[in-house]
Amino acid sequence: MTIQLNTDKSLTIHQEYEDKIQTQITEALSRFNDLITRLEVHLSDENGNKDGLDDKRCLLEARISGKEPIAVTNLGNTYDLAITGALTKLKSKLDTIAGKLKTH
């Protein structure tokens, strides 16, 4: 599974944080390695540099072999919370897809 990290212009990610995100995603989605060919992570701040509640956004787009890509999004007070919520949503969708593929 290839993981591509994208950010908006208001966010600069240091290598250590990028490595942490990659590790978190790899561990969370390890059981779907044979299903996902590529995962795109889009991080953005809905309010730019202004403060706000739940203004950090994480969009995960999973490219699945032989299927249409699926996307989930989640908002949080921090990028870590946004990523964690998006991973939870994505795992739920992938469980459904994997279950359907096994029965067919």
pLDDT, tens digit (0-9, with 9 covering 90-100), for 40-73: 999 998 776 666 667 899 999 999 988 899 999 9
Compute CA 3 distance to the chain's CA centroid, rounded to the nearest angstrom.
9
Query: Residue 53 has what DSSP assignment?
Result: T
Give the per-residue pLDDT at 18. Answer: 93
- Domain with residue 30: its CATH number is 3.30.160.100
Mean pLDDT of the chain: 90
Number of domains in the chain: 1
State whether the Cα torsion 81-33-27-104 is positive or negative.
Answer: positive
Confidence of residue 32 (pLDDT cuts 50, 70, 90): very high
pTM: 0.88
Range of the domain at 66: 2-103
Question: Which phi and psi (to 5°) does residue 98 adopt?
Answer: -65, -40
Long-range contact pairs involving 18-23 (C-beta distance under 8 Å, separation at least 24): 21/83
